[in-house]
Chains A and B, each alone.
Chain A
Amino acid sequence: MRLQYPSGIRIICLPCTGKVDLLHLLHCFEKGADGVYVVGCLEGACQFNTGNLRARKRVALAQEILEKIGLGGDRVQMYNLSSSEAPRFVQIAEEMTQKILKLGPNPIKLARRKMAA
């Protein structure tokens, strides 16, 4: 359908959201990402039965950690959709972009800049 969505998003493919490691999520923020979201199959429709459910738990944990360390738990999110739902994909991309714009840049980035200045 070639629906347009915000261009600030980069996709990293994995075989299943079950492979998304908590460390991967945190590593992104450590390196300066402003937001990360995990997009998995609809719940109940995971090709590997439970991968997306595991991912959801890890995202929740990442949220908790980010919240605790002051980065903001909302910077990481989990979404579920099926491969035929392009409009929903766009909706998610827009929603996430808006969310991050509202939250502003990764505080680590700002702190580093301050330090450099």
Chain B
Amino acid sequence: MCPVELPSEYDQGLATRKAVYKQYAQAIPGAFTIQKGDKAPCRLACPAGLNVQGYVQMVKEGKYKEALEIIMEDLPLPGVLGRICPHGCEEACRRCDKDEPVAIRDLKRLAADRFDPRHIEVRCSPPRAERVAIIGSGPAGLSAAYHLVKKGIRSTIFEALPQPGGMLRVGIPEHRLPRNILDREIELITNLGVEIKTNTSLCADLTVDDLFGKGYKAVYLATGSHKGIGLGIPGEKARGVQQGVEFLRELNLTGRAKVGTKVAVIGGGNVAIDVARSAVRLGAEEVTILYRRTRAEMPAWEEERVEAEAEGVKINYLSAPQEVLVEDGKVAALRCIRMELGEPDSSGRRRPIPVPGTEYEINADQVIPAIGQVPDLSALEDIEGLSFSRWGTVEADTITYATGRDGVFAGGDLHTGPWIAIGAVAAGREAAESILRYLDGRDMTEGRRAAPNEHPVYRPVPDKEPRKERGKMPTLSPRERQGNFNEVELGYDEITGREEAGRCLNCGYCCECYQCVAACGPHAITLETHRETTRKVELKVGSVILAPGFAVFDPSRYKTYDYLNRPNIITSLEFERILSASGPTMGHLVRPSDGKEPRNIAWLQCVGSRDVNRADHGYCSSVCCMYAIKEAIISKEHAKKELDCAIFFMDMRTHGKDFERYYDTAREKHGVRFIRSRVHSIDSLCDTGDLVLKYASEEGEVIEETFDMVVLSVGMETPKSTVELAQTLGLSLTEGKFCATHPFTPVSTSREGIYVCGVFQGPKDIPQCVTEASAAACAAAVDLSSARWTQTKSKEIPEEVDVSSQEPRIGVFVCNCGTNIGGIIEVPSLAQYASILPHVVYAEQNLFTCAQDTQDRMKQLIREHKLNRVVVAACTPRTHEPLFQETMQACGLNKFLFEMANIRNQDSWVHSGDPASATDKAKDLVRMAVARAALLKPLSAKRIPVNKRALVVGGGVAGMTSALSLGDQGFEVILVEKEPRLGGAALDLTHTIEGVRIPEYLLGLEARIAGHEKIQVLTESLIVGFSGFKGNFTTEVMVGPGMYERKIDHGVVIMATGASEYKPTEYRYGEDRRILTQIELGKRLEEKGAEDLNHVVMIQCVGSRNEAFPNCSRICCQSAIKNALHIKHLNPETEVSILYRDIRTYGELEYYYRQARREGVRFFRFHRDEPPQVSTRDGGLSVTFKDHVLQRNLRLKADLLVLSAGVRPSDTEESAAIFKLPRNPDGYFMEAHVKLRPVDMTNEGIYVCGTAHGPKLISEAVSQAMAASSRAAVFLSQSEISLSPVTAKVDGERCASCLICVRVCPYGVPHISKEGVSEIDEALCRGCGICAAECPAKAIELSWYEDAQVMSKVDALLEGVL
């Protein structure tokens, strides 16, 4: 229903959404929201505050009636104002910034042209007894009467002239406002019960006092400004001189007016133009307008002036009349003088000054002054209490329009002097409100003084908004206008009008047309919800976690790409949406410009990353290399034809766990091209939209290549709003504007109690974000552990009724889901059908079965009809099953006695084009559901207590951190370490790249653990046995140094067995004491410094990224740079050279890479297939390699050769065997889900952290250790767990011990018991049912999916087929 189409943020603007919207299908919360800005500027510019955006949107939709309903909330004269309004709204239109304003007035007219406003149902309050007198039937009087009657107050309008309408009728000629339009709209007002008495004016016989005497409770004065202002020049009294307003009045009341042959009209306003155009129509031969300023100052509308000139009216600018020359008492000519513009006057316009000696005469037999009007006060002067301004207008309060006389109000031109009709309409409406309050004796001013909004929030004008021409208004040709008063403007046709309305930018987002309110069946959207605004809520919290995320870099900042104007250059995020099955192209890979399937696509890396010159982002965004590879592979898979994918990069950063393997696969298996080059220019081929990339190859050759599409791998940045949030909270930021943290407390901000996770902590991928989120939760949980369970409530569930001996009594509830189901499927007949199915004792239909009142009713019906099974035919069990099951539980029914038939998602939605088939299918689905329901059995979840002790395996940084995190939350921890001392691999390290000392940190951790009352440390200990299931494990440990056996009962395990530095076999390591690893170098620098070192050479990727160990070891690049910088600090003279393949200083580590280069560390790249050669000939150590820039071999002398040796997991093989844990080919433990469960193992109750999971920095290991503790604590904090009863059960009688179940179970759960039959531990069974399906003896059944229950559905479906 919502007419407002906006670009979908979720689809990166490639598709649209409505102003009422859900972020995306899977959004949490899965609720709709209405996006609102401030009131649109057009609405604010309208004196009557008409909801312009609202009715423009309705016109766009072709809903003219609804458009009129919106207009007529405020304005009873849509067709009139749709013609004659000076439309100040259009000047405020923000489309002016782009091209031309929306033709708002003409769209109002279109609505009134297409639907008769008399047929709009105007909602009026019940009529009241009081009557009000209104003097004057112009726009102010009519509006007051209209708004009064809407409030239930009837009125009588007294009109002095023979016909109603005031200036609308007598001031505006018919060629602009046809009489029938005015009549029609006055009629709509009188239809509501407003009485109009014409030929009745205030005078001696009818005074205000008389009106009060006759019982009118209030009087509204709206007599307008009908008296023309004289010229004040000689000859003005001559025959042939007539006031413009009088001329028009005569013409408009009688259809005739005396007109001369040569007519001079004086004035520059709309009245002057109206007079001139009327004079032309009445047959004047020559009509000249004299205006004393220039065209620029002319108050008449531009379009009116243009039309007048088209009709033959002459306009003399800078001319003023001096004297009417009279012959025989009649006008003979007009003497004029030329003017020039002087200083601006009080109105801001430049004051016209006569130029002496420029007098001239023009022939004229009629002179019509139209230089302004004033109210005719003759009948008002005697009213007691009324006061008048020095401009001859009535004084009244500007908000209430109350005059000095109690009960007398005034408005319109009488109050303001001549002004626009819409202003008078607004005044009338306000007076009506005042009169209502006056009659009720309420405060007339309360709540009516609106504070102006200094900083309105509007939808930004989209950069990509195309220019669209304003719809042309068709008019009569000047020839067709001759001699008649036919309407000149013909009005838009529907197509032009709706297109014109489509130009509206929807500045306020929601247009408040309230179509959604009318459409919402369950009344979830109301006018109240529309009024909801941002609320300030104060919360008392013990800690704060910040996860504000990031913004995607906006590539339009780069001139090279011209992203905004080239549709086939898109961002990686836009590309993701194109690849997505639920995206704008439904996963069909096509390019935006022409929908063509691309033949080749280029990815450009590091857009907005690693670029301080143009992007001001010196950091690496960490994720772009990997997502580009992923997109390339998926594109190749999606493409129907051959597709070439090329990725242009600087360093390929696939440093994550198993990422390098993925990179290799992309290159070797999928043929993705990787080109190490920064593209320096892109040209667009205009006719095809193809893109020509110019780049230099590694050999320095300039290459030109044409691509169908270019994807910009845009980086991450902290948005301004987050920077402001950080300022509000008083947090420090890093150079890259990420939240500053310390390497050993990676989720703690600079302010105690505030924690951070995700990209705001630093650029990172999803697994790391999820890990960090758990870590932040852990940090908060430590602070809040004493408050655990203090603010929670437990639900009371009544005791279950035993229904096992009862016959099935099924209740069926069929949901209409508003019109979602009911609009397609014949729900009443479906409910009727359900009621006669076997075992069904009750069936009914509901508008919304899930509504709270239906749930209450369901409870009542369950009790009333003694239902023991429930079937709901509605939507999907995925979202609604728990709700209905809860209702059943509240009635003491087992929740497994429930079944749903999905007649919405699987039926009405997907067969909406075929309602008859949909209804048949719904009957089948309900019959199937009822059949299964009859066979359902109650199941009960087994509850087992949780042992609240944790076992942490490994006493390195990760193990110590997780032990402390759990201990600090009050959980008992046993920390097992094989070495005599805690610390692990970190014992060999000196400092982090940030320069923080590690030995002191380790001492601190050790001391805290030693003094912790909840942590018990077992050093020199080995794990030899493990059994049990989550919550109840038993581990056997040989405890050193005596090696006695100890059995430990515990509820969870955290694996933190760590990793160590690879011992190289390459590059002559071990043959020469000058060849070291990075760790050895660190120690050497600590002990001996670097004074004696002249040349140090480092080689990267030693034991990583090769055949034997394909993955990247992640930390070696930063180790090398850390040590290189250390050397430079110790001895700036030392020449340090780093031979690398890709430098992988991800995230803000990039800054250290930059620093190293700045400080003179030399970087040389070598190719995997041409590794450097190490020589120790003649005692001199040297390294030879092929330089890729010079394309020749270089030899470097070295005092030390340092090998950046990779990382290898420690002891995972043995632990994996004991704990039955999966490992990846490199030997690292494998998490349950790479992205969503990065610290859980598939084996429930076991968690992993630190380098046992994969290579990582200390800060990352700390995060992960806290995350593992957090996950463990979630589990340990429950006193008991309930196991799903949907598990496999063995019928021992039928079991043939064939071992098939033992072999097929993916989790190794079944085993042969002492009795010689298969036994399945329900605590370990996951409920997949594989064993049940495989069991040849059919001895195994999966509860809730027993064979009979499944087959019953088949039988019910195929009933009667044979």
Q: Which residues of A contact B (CB under 8 A)?
A: 1-5, 7-8, 10-16, 18-24, 27-28, 31-33, 47-51, 54, 58, 84-88, 108-109, 112
Flag whether B1312 is at the interface (Cβ < 8 A): no
Given pairs A21-B1332, A87-B581, 9 additional interface contacts (CB within 8 A): A1-B582, A4-B910, A10-B925, A15-B1329, A31-B1355, A32-B1362, A50-B1304, A54-B1304, A84-B581
Among A1, A5, A19, A50, which residue has its beta carbon within 8 angstroms of that of B1332? A19
Nearest A residue to B1357 via CB reads A10
Stretch at the interface among B229-237, B435-443, B763-771, B1343-1351: B1343-1351
Asked whether A32 and B913 contact (CB < 8 A) given A1-B582, A18-B1329, A23-B1347, the answer is no
Flag whether B1007 is at the interface (Cβ < 8 A): no
Of B877, B925, B1326, most buried by chain A (CB within 10 Å of CB) is: B1326
Contact: A5 with B1351, CB < 8 Å? Answer: no
Q: Lowest 3 A-B CB distances belong to which pairs?
A: A19-B1329, A32-B1361, A48-B1328
Of B587, B1347, B1362, most buried by chain A (CB within 10 Å of CB) is: B1362
Contact: A14 with B1330, CB < 8 Å? Answer: no
Q: Which residues of B contact A (CB under 8 A)?
A: 580-582, 586-587, 877, 902, 906, 909-914, 917-918, 920-921, 924-925, 928, 1286, 1304, 1306, 1326-1330, 1332-1334, 1338, 1342, 1345, 1347, 1350-1351, 1353-1355, 1357-1358, 1361-1362
CA distance A51 to B1331 in the complex (A): 10
Asked whether A2 and B912 contact (CB < 8 A) given A7-B917, A15-B1329, A51-B1330, the answer is yes
Contact: B1354 with A24, CB < 8 Å? Answer: yes
Contact: B1345 with A19, CB < 8 Å? Answer: yes
CA distance A79 to B586 in the complex (A): 20
Contact: A27 with B1354, CB < 8 Å? Answer: yes
Contact: B925 with A84, CB < 8 Å? Answer: no
Nearest B residue to A32 via CB reads B1361
Contact: B1330 with A19, CB < 8 Å? Answer: yes
Number of A-B contacts (CB under 8 A): 118
Nearest A residue to B925 via CB reads A10
Contact: B1354 with A2, CB < 8 Å? Answer: no
CA distance A28 to B913 in the complex (A): 28
Contact: B1345 with A31, CB < 8 Å? Answer: no
Contact: B1354 with A12, CB < 8 Å? Answer: yes
Of A1, A14, A18, most buried by chain B (CB within 10 Å of CB) is: A18
B1304 proximity list for chain A (CB < 8 A): 50, 54
Among A2, A51, A86, which residue has its beta carbon within 8 angstroms of that of B581? A86
Asked whether A50 and B1330 contact (CB < 8 A) given A4-B911, A4-B913, A31-B1355, the answer is yes
Nearest A residue to B580 via CB reads A84
Contact: B910 with A3, CB < 8 Å? Answer: yes
Asked whether A19 and B1333 contact (CB < 8 A) given A50-B1306, A84-B580, A109-B1362, the answer is yes
Question: In angstroms, how far is the closest chain B Cβ from the Cβ of A69?
Answer: 16
Q: Would you mind naming 30 contact pairs between A and B with Cβ atoms under 8 Å apart?
A: A1-B586, A2-B909, A2-B910, A2-B912, A3-B910, A4-B911, A7-B911, A12-B928, A12-B1350, A12-B1353, A12-B1354, A14-B1329, A14-B1345, A15-B1327, A15-B1329, A19-B1332, A21-B1333, A21-B1350, A28-B1354, A31-B1355, A31-B1361, A33-B1358, A47-B1328, A48-B1326, A49-B1306, A51-B1329, A85-B581, A85-B587, A87-B581, A88-B581
Nearest A residue to B906 via CB reads A11
Contact: B581 with A112, CB < 8 Å? Answer: no
CA distance A39 to B877 in the complex (A): 18
CA distance A65 to B1329 in the complex (A): 23
Contact: B1358 with A31, CB < 8 Å? Answer: yes
CA distance A19 to B1306 in the complex (A): 13
Nearest A residue to B582 via CB reads A84
B580 proximity list for chain A (CB < 8 A): 84
CA distance A14 to B1346 in the complex (A): 10
Among B582, B918, B1330, B1357, which residue has its beta carbon within 8 angstroms of that of A54? B1330
Contact: B1329 with A24, CB < 8 Å? Answer: no
Asked whether A19 and B910 contact (CB < 8 A) given A31-B1358, A48-B1306, the answer is no
Question: In angstroms, how far is the closest chain A Cβ from the Cβ of B1360?
Answer: 9
CA distance A22 to B141 in the complex (A): 84
Contact: A18 with B1328, CB < 8 Å? Answer: yes
CA distance A4 to B1355 in the complex (A): 26
Contact: A7 with B921, CB < 8 Å? Answer: yes
CA distance A49 to B1350 in the complex (A): 23
B906 proximity list for chain A (CB < 8 A): 11
Question: In angstroms, how far is the closest chain A Cβ from the Cβ of B933?
Answer: 14
A33 proximity list for chain B (CB < 8 A): 1354, 1357-1358, 1361
Among A16, A24, A28, A108, which residue has its beta carbon within 8 angstroms of that of B1330? A16
B1362 proximity list for chain A (CB < 8 A): 31-32, 108-109, 112
Question: In angstroms, how far is the closest chain B Cβ from the Cβ of A45?
Answer: 11
Question: In angstroms, how far is the closest chain B Cβ from the Cβ of A63?
Answer: 17
B920 proximity list for chain A (CB < 8 A): 7
CA distance A20 to B1329 in the complex (A): 8
Contact: B912 with A4, CB < 8 Å? Answer: yes
A88 proximity list for chain B (CB < 8 A): 581
Question: In angstroms, how far is the closest chain B Cβ from the Cβ of A74?
Answer: 19
Asked whether A15 and B917 contact (CB < 8 A) given A2-B909, A54-B1334, the answer is no
Nearest B residue to A90 via CB reads B910
Contact: B1333 with A54, CB < 8 Å? Answer: yes
Among A18, A31, A32, which residue has its beta carbon within 8 angstroms of that of B1333? A18
Nearest A residue to B1327 via CB reads A15
Nearest B residue to A105 via CB reads B1361
Contact: A48 with B917, CB < 8 Å? Answer: no
CA distance A18 to B1334 in the complex (A): 9
Among B587, B909, B924, which residue has its beta carbon within 8 angstroms of that of A87? B587
CA distance A24 to B1352 in the complex (A): 10
Among B582, B911, B924, B1342, which residue has its beta carbon within 8 angstroms of that of A15? B1342
Asked whether A87 and B1350 contact (CB < 8 A) given A50-B1330, A112-B1362, the answer is no
Question: In angstroms, how far is the closest chain B Cβ from the Cβ of A20?
Answer: 6
Of A21, A33, A87, most buried by chain B (CB within 10 Å of CB) is: A21
Nearest A residue to B1329 via CB reads A19
Nearest B residue to A55 via CB reads B1333
A3 proximity list for chain B (CB < 8 A): 910
CA distance A24 to B1013 in the complex (A): 58
Of B581, B1330, B1338, B1361, most buried by chain A (CB within 10 Å of CB) is: B1330
CA distance A72 to B223 in the complex (A): 92
CA distance A21 to B913 in the complex (A): 34
Contact: B1353 with A15, CB < 8 Å? Answer: no
Question: In angstroms, how far is the closest chain B Cβ from the Cβ of A84?
Answer: 5
Contact: B1358 with A28, CB < 8 Å? Answer: yes
B1355 proximity list for chain A (CB < 8 A): 31
Question: In angstroms, how far is the closest chain A Cβ from the Cβ of B722?
Answer: 30
Question: In angstroms, how far is the closest chain A Cβ from the Cβ of B1234?
Answer: 12
B587 proximity list for chain A (CB < 8 A): 85, 87
Question: In angstroms, how far is the closest chain A Cβ from the Cβ of B752?
Answer: 42
Question: In angstroms, how far is the closest chain B Cβ from the Cβ of A38?
Answer: 11
Of A19, A28, A87, A112, most buried by chain B (CB within 10 Å of CB) is: A19
A27 proximity list for chain B (CB < 8 A): 1351, 1354
Question: In angstroms, how far is the closest chain A Cβ from the Cβ of B877?
Answer: 8
CA distance A86 to B910 in the complex (A): 11
Contact: B1342 with A19, CB < 8 Å? Answer: yes
CA distance A1 to B444 in the complex (A): 53
B1354 proximity list for chain A (CB < 8 A): 12, 24, 27-28, 31, 33
A50 proximity list for chain B (CB < 8 A): 1304, 1306, 1330
CA distance A106 to B1332 in the complex (A): 28
A7 proximity list for chain B (CB < 8 A): 910-911, 914, 917-918, 920-921
Nearest B residue to A57 via CB reads B1334
CA distance A16 to B1074 in the complex (A): 60
A51 proximity list for chain B (CB < 8 A): 1306, 1328-1330
A8 proximity list for chain B (CB < 8 A): 917
Among B924, B1328, B1361, which residue has its beta carbon within 8 angstroms of that of A19? B1328
A13 proximity list for chain B (CB < 8 A): 877
